[in-house]
Structure formats: C-alpha cells, structure tokens
Amino acid sequence: MSSRIEILNAGGYRSDGRRQYELRTISIDLSPRGSGADGSATLSHGLTQVSVCVFGPREAKMRSQTFHDRANINVEIGIAAFSSSERRKRGRGDKRVLELSHTLKATFEPVIQTSLYPRSQIDIYIQVLQQDGGLLQACVNATTLALINAGIPLYDFVCAVTGGVHSTSPLLDLTLLEENDLPNVTVAVMPRTGKVALVTMETRLHVDRFEEIFRLAGEAGKVIHGEMKRAVKERTQDLVNAMQSVGKAAGTEVVDEY
C-alpha cells in the first residue's frame, strides 16, 4: 500500500522539504553521559536518535567469550518503547534487535584493531531513543564515534547512509515514511581506505538502480565523515583545553605554596 503523502513532488522536493540528495541535519554529542562508560556518543539524523556507550577493553565475563589472539566484540541494543509510534516493546530476544546486533558486530569486528587486546572484551551498548528512518546508519555512525571517544584504535571511520529509489529518482538519507514505501539499501564506507564496510538491503532493488544508489551513498558517506571528524576534533580540543586549565591551576598553587 503506497503512502498518501507524496514522496517526491513535481518540484523535486520530498515530504520533509529536502531535495533528492540532501541529507538530514546531523547532531553529535560526545560529552560523557554519566554512565561510567569509557566512551559514549549520542547522534541524531533528523528525528532518528541513538546513544552508544562503550566499555573496555576489559576482562571477559565468560571464558567462552575469550579469544587468545584478539578481543571479543559484544553488541547489545535496547529500543525504547517510546522511540516509535507503534509502541511495541522489543526485548533483547526480538528478531529485529538480534539481526541489528549481528549486523553491527560483523561490521565493526574487521575495523577495530582487536589483535591489540587479546583475551579481552569490548562491550558496545546501543540505546535507540527515536526512530524516523535510517536506524542502521545512525547506529553505525554513533558506534564509530563512541569507539573513537573510548580511545579504541580503528583502522578507519565507518560512515553509513541509507539510499532508496522513487520511480527512477535516487534519494539519500531516508525517513521512515520513505523507507516503508521505497526499495532501499544501507551502505557504510571507510573514507580513508575507500573500502566498503557494509551493504545491506531488505527490499528488492533493480540492478540498474543499485549501482547509482551505491555510488551516491558512498559519496554521502564522505560528507557524513566530515561532520563526524569535526565533532571528534572539537571534543579533543575541549579535553586539551580542560587539561591545560587544570595544569595552570596546579602550577599556580605550587608557586603560592613556595
């Protein structure tokens, strides 16, 4: 059943006022959440918002989860009941949640330098706060930022975006309305190396359209990378400034004492 709202009007505008290739507003917060995590990030793509906390590397709780040559990556996802209009409670055993966890684990295992931390575990806890399309891309991007914030070495950033096709017109960064109506694909790229970390498609997409949307999503990933890199630099600068302030204060106290 098609939606009553026009996906793309005659003027080339989408239902939320964006152009075909225009991305939603990205909001990034890398300040600590007060959870005691080693690193955290809250990220929004439009009205979709997720928060990620990273703990570790630390000792694995179970021996079966310990690898002698690398760290084990554990991904757990919680979806707030108020995050979407369907008000359906999704527990950890929910099929959709398990699929999402597995996809994220498979995406980040080759990107994290796990061999540096043998016999340890890195826990990634994702909380979905709001859903309006592009949930996987938001989880990927927020997880990248939280891992960097935790100081865990990565081979590269992982930057994801969802793309779809309306008739013959490609669209980027889909809302929930668009995702429900259009064949779509989520692509995650690593900008420095140019490698593709993830391609996932839950709907059928004509092969002639796939190549175009794949290329566009890769280019959009580089734009998102710029936003993510800027947020990391600002966070790093804030930490440097805070350390310098503490150092100056300590130096003043030492001078006064003597």
What local confidence, expressed as pLDDT, does residue 206 receive?
A: 83
Ranges 21-35, 71-85, 238-252: which has the least confidence = 238-252
Whether 1 is covered by a domain: the verdict is no
Residues 6+ apart with CB under 8 A from 133: 46, 48, 162, 174, 175, 176, 177, 178, 179
How far is the CA of 208 from the CAs of 146, 165, 166, 214, in angstroms?
Answer: 36, 11, 13, 11
Judged by DSSP in three states, 223 sits in helix
Report which of residues 6 and 171 the model is more confident about: 171
Whether 188 is covered by a domain: the verdict is yes
What local confidence, expressed as pLDDT, does residue 199 receive?
A: 95
Judged by DSSP in three states, 138 sits in helix
Whether 235 is covered by a domain: the verdict is yes
* CATH number of the domain enclosing 46: 3.30.230.70
Whether 149 is covered by a domain: the verdict is yes
Tally of structural domains, the chain: 1
What DSSP character marks residue 52? E
Residue with tokens 């004492």: 257
* Res 150 pLDDT > 90: yes
Whether 199 is covered by a domain: the verdict is yes
Judged by DSSP in three states, 88 sits in coil
What local confidence, expressed as pLDDT, does residue 4 receive?
A: 62
Q: State which residues form the domain around 135.
A: 26-248
* Res 253 pLDDT > 50: no
Residues 6+ apart with CB under 8 A from 16: 24, 46, 175
Instruction: List pLDDT tens digits, range 12-69.
Output: 999 999 999 999 999 999 988 767 899 999 999 999 999 999 999 999 888 887 899 9
Whether 105 is covered by a domain: the verdict is yes
Whether pTM exceeds 0.75: yes
Whether 17 is covered by a domain: the verdict is no
